[in-house]
A and B are shown apart, each in its own frame.
Chain A
């Protein structure tokens, strides 16, 4: 190994940063013993400031520093500066960022040690950390049929390999299928998504498994045995002609999931007219026959013999695949958690997914912006009879950038709020629209220009997040502070739209355990490397795409869908799959380091 006398290692275990499962005492002993380093200090030893570090550099005559820990890069500037101040080469500061190589996973201590060994001997980790390969089964499982999952499935299937696409609900399409337009191009969402959905249905290489869930994953990279539960649809997908006679006769109602609960559907239903597969299904929770054994109105009405089987049970199907792509998307923030905004209490406080349906030309009102009304049974629904609002306020960052809920920025809500403003003015030119924001995050290509354009359209942009919404005299009263004007806001409006954030999917933890891939502190799936392998995971044969990795918009989700597909296709072409970082053994890394140092 290298001469390590003039090397100083600083172990950065910050008490307040992300949870850190590593045992730093063990790393310390490893450095001392195996890596033969004697100048090691930990974060608790002394305050890390210029003065103290200069002292260490001077007394031990150090000319190379290694900073190792979680997000160790955050303290790099201090060390580079100190090196420069002491007349040393500021470039001789090496950062070992453990979180870039997978924590909270089997083998993480070994990996941390291997990283340290590499840094001490000044050999790039990637050169010596080589995972073994396994032979690969060319079939692929894609979990989640949103835009990301659809994209990945199509890429692989069009490359002539078999794809099982498992979707939890009765249709593929994900959230995008519910939108009217997409920012910033204002493309019609259905016009670009529907053809892709149809293609999925028609591609002979795709086995679409809708209304299904993955319940068990066994085996190893390249050869997974997956148990998929086909939930009882109670309608035969092969014979149903989608005529809808059954639903006409069905007496039971439930809020429509696709319409974000803003309309009622029957117990036997199709999520939306362009659903793929375009077949009906029965929601067992609202079906009267399933509850008390009497009804069968649908069975009597159906023109196809034996198409509906109300006694059908769930069925487990086992499939063999070599690769898995996770694309399960996100869960919208539950707005009623922030009581101050009155969601669920005031009828005309809507969340953004509801507003998407209200704006949608194929939505409940045909795209007319109307007040919410109440049906005879007391359900809050959209219809075309309740009149047009004249003043609409949009509140940003609901449930995001808030330490009481989610501390991260949800990334898409600023932009979809701007899209909302535009669509409102397009449909109601006389209306007044207010956007209350903290910062406008228009980060993508053409996004800032979109923001400028919306501002010119006459939307009132107010810097200052609203603090609360009250109901007064039939109107909604918004209270807040206008930061730029330095005044209090008390604005009476007709409708309030809450730009809710994105949260990790409800199945993430379950899937994380099943697949052996970690989630981050917030609950998103953790990528193998944030920069250079954003769709990979630490486990071989498992990739991910779309919003299940973190909040993102449609273009990024699609790009990730293709990227994940590329990982799969390369392994199919090679006939092998890498076993992933989690299988790397410390002794193998050590012996490779030895070989390399001997050569040098």
Chain B
């Protein structure tokens, strides 16, 4: 196998947030300190070496960056301030852009203008739709209230329109992600010319995928349990919200004000709480900069946090205004909510930070496959 060296690779990687690529002097402290590094899958040092040498091929086929959960233990002890944790994070950004065949991911990660431009474009599409297009089809801002005194939200945003829209959005995102995951599979497993993995192993290890997604056991291995907890809340809250909004919108977006203990409300409250808890933790961490994990933030990290927070806050506002019978406030919150949510789902989920929701569990799967690979 020939190996191609790309001396300018590091210049490219700098755009993904890699700081001082040359600081590392290969003492190996980070690898030994990392709770997740293991024989056969050693990181972060080895990955730093690949990066310094400009070996794009081996980087592309690496699964290790996804095994890192950024606990920051390596960065804390690195004698050279090489910041290995952040280097791993940057590699994840880079890999995300490599998996993405549309090339948009690369654009979004390396250019703020592109990312912000696209977000604003989709946001204005949403606003225009609600303010001009839908009204032209006879949908009005209905200010009369239901018998319970709630807002008639379904007449402003009819399920019949929103639901198919949600579904198609979900379809686009899913096809993007699935095709990218296949590309990831191809790069990490398929392309490997020296080993192969049997079909049976593929099937057997699949259950791990589900388990990994639900529990995120790796994160809990990091010394500090608070990361695991907050990340778990954030992830579960997000997933629940995503499912009820996209799949069960009919059941979730009701005009009737259900009793407090109804599963619909309980689930909504749980998801909101989970999101707020996780977000609060991440935002405070980033502002105070005390946790190494949050010390270095790429624009994409901030943007993502800001958008998710915006979605959650406007979502809460819709709920409050709706059950308190404030129609115009409800509608404008709804527009704002969608104006943030739509670009977040269309841009952040398939192309940017949020895509790790899909890549991480699959990486765990591929990791197991690699472990059980046999020489060809």
Residues of A whose CB lies within 8 Å of any CB of B are: 340, 397, 401-405, 438-439, 464-468, 479-483, 486-489
Contact = CB atoms under 8 A, between A and B. Distances in A.
Given A403-B81, A488-B39, A467 B46 contact: no
A480 B32 contact: yes
Given A464-B27, A465-B79, A483-B26, 14 more contacts: A403-B81, A404-B79, A439-B25, A466-B32, A467-B31, A468-B32, A479-B32, A480-B29, A481-B28, A482-B28, A483-B28, A486-B42, A487-B42, A488-B31
Contacts of B80: 402-403
B367 interface: no
6 contacts: A340-B77, A403-B80, A404-B79, A467-B30, A479-B32, A489-B32
A-B complex: 9 closest residue pairs judged by Cβ atoms: A481-B28, A467-B32, A402-B79, A464-B28, A465-B27, A481-B31, A467-B29, A480-B32, A479-B32
Q: Which of B27, B79, B80, B81 has the most CB of A within 10 A?
A: B27
A467 B38 contact: no
Contact of B26 (A397, A438, A467): A438
A465 B29 contact: yes
A467 B28 contact: yes
A465 B27 CA distance: 5
A402 B39 CA distance: 26
A488 B32 contact: yes
Contacts of A468: 32-33
Contact of A488 (B25, B27, B37, B81): B37
A348 B80 CA distance: 28
A467 B42 contact: no
B152 interface: no
A486 B49 CA distance: 11
A437 to B, nearest CB: 9
B45 interface: yes
A487 B32 CA distance: 10
A395 to B, nearest CB: 11
Interface string B15-53: 000000000011111111100011100100110000000
Contacts of B38: 488
Interface string B338-364: 000000000000000000000000000
B44 to A, nearest CB: 10
B37 A486 contact: no
Contacts of A439: 25
A224 B292 CA distance: 52
Contacts of A487: 39, 42
A17 to B, nearest CB: 15
Q: Which of A465, A481, A483 has the most CB of B within 10 A?
A: A481
Interface of B: 25-33, 37-39, 42, 45-46, 77, 79-81
Given A464-B28, A488-B39, A481 B77 contact: no
A401 B79 contact: yes
A402 B27 CA distance: 10
Q: Which of B26, B30, B31, B39 has the most CB of A within 10 A?
A: B31
B49 to A, nearest CB: 9
Contact of B42 (A397, A402, A481): A481
Given A487-B39, A488-B38, A467 B33 contact: yes
A468 B77 CA distance: 10
A465 B28 contact: yes
Contacts of A466: 29, 32
B45 A481 contact: yes
Contacts of B30: 467
Contacts of B27: 397, 438, 464-465, 483
Contacts of A483: 26-28, 45
Contacts of B28: 464-465, 467, 480-483, 489
A56 B33 CA distance: 50
Contacts of B77: 340, 404, 467
Nearest to B73: A467
B79 A403 contact: yes
A464 B42 CA distance: 14
Nearest to A402: B79
Q: Which of B30, B32, B45, B77 has the most CB of A within 10 A?
A: B32
A483 B46 CA distance: 9
A464 B26 CA distance: 7
A397 B77 CA distance: 14
A569 B45 CA distance: 54
Contacts of A479: 32
A486 B46 contact: yes
Contact of B32 (A397, A401, A481): A481
B24 to A, nearest CB: 11
A489 B46 CA distance: 15
A564 to B, nearest CB: 34
B310 to A, nearest CB: 36
Contacts of B33: 467-468
Contacts of B46: 486
A11 B30 CA distance: 39
A438 B31 contact: no
Contacts of B29: 465-467, 480-481
A467 B76 CA distance: 12
A487 B37 CA distance: 11
A503 to B, nearest CB: 16
A468 B28 CA distance: 11
Contacts of A465: 27-29, 79
A414 B39 CA distance: 29
A467 B44 CA distance: 13
Contacts of A405: 79
Contacts of B37: 488
B25 A438 contact: yes
B117 to A, nearest CB: 27
Contacts of A488: 31-32, 37-39, 42
A374 to B, nearest CB: 30
Contacts of A467: 28-33, 77
A397 B235 CA distance: 42
A235 to B, nearest CB: 46
A402 B46 CA distance: 20
Nearest to B39: A488
Nearest to B23: A403
Contacts of B26: 438, 464, 483
Nearest to A403: B81
Contacts of B45: 481, 483
